[in-house]
Amino acid sequence: MQKFSPWKLLSSRTTYKNAWLAVREDSVITPTGSQGVYGVIESNDSVAVAALNDKNELYIHRIFRYPLQNWQWEVPGGGGDKEHAIQASKRELEEETGLKAEQWDILGVTGVCNGFMTEKMTTCLARGLSVVGDKEVSDEQTADGGFYSLEKIGAMIDSGEIQDGQTMTVLYLLQRWLEKNS
């Protein structure tokens, strides 16, 4: 297997930046030898939380996703804000759901969209859940949160009610964990 990069970098510039992401445009020689550009989206790494109750039900909620302009069923999560993944997951879980967990494990670290983005998502498993407070009022509008069986969630995916690919990545990792730990 080739270990090296088949691309050559000529120069690099940041073409856009806001508080959450930057776009870097690299001038490159492509692997086939032509000159071109590669636009890379640089965003902070993120976390996704598989909050599992004693009945092996998973917490999902609807969140309004501005880029798609609609409400999406998802597991809790968000930007990592450069914290450790479990710290970030504790914060996101409590902010978005009012839940706290006794026990935390990391299920996997996965590229989100590796053709365009540098972002990696860490999936954290949260168990030993208790309600500690109200959800925080934030720009991430959430609704209809609750615990659902994995069978019900699978049926919601089959019907197209759940469409979030990142949540399916979490479900794949969670199912592997359950197969080995149940």
Q: Could you give the dihedral angle defined by the CA atoms of residues 82, 84, 90 and 94, in that order, rounded to the nearest 10 degrees?
A: -10
The two three-digit tokens of residue 150, written as one number? 């994995």
- In the bound state with its own copies, the residue whose beta carbon lies nearer, of 45 and 99, is 45
- In the bound state with its own copies, the residue whose beta carbon lies nearer, of 71 and 148, is 71
Closest distance to its own copies from the beta carbon of 129 (Å): 23
Ranges within 53-112 binding its own copies (CB under 8 A):
62, 64-69, 71-72, 74, 78-79, 108-112
Q: How many CA atoms lie within 13 A of 36 on its CB side?
A: 8
Ranges within 2-61 binding its own copies (CB under 8 A):
2-3, 5-7, 15-16, 18, 20-21, 23, 25-26, 28, 30-32, 36-41, 43, 46
By three-state DSSP, how is residue 69 classified? coil
- In the bound state with its own copies, the residue whose beta carbon lies nearer, of 5 and 130, is 5
Nearest to 167 by CA among 180, 159, 176, 157: 157
Ranges within 132-151 binding its own copies (CB under 8 A):
137-139, 141, 143-144
By three-state DSSP, how is residue 43 classified? strand
Rounded CA-CA distance 97/126 in Å is 12
- In the bound state with its own copies, the residue whose beta carbon lies nearer, of 23 and 86, is 23
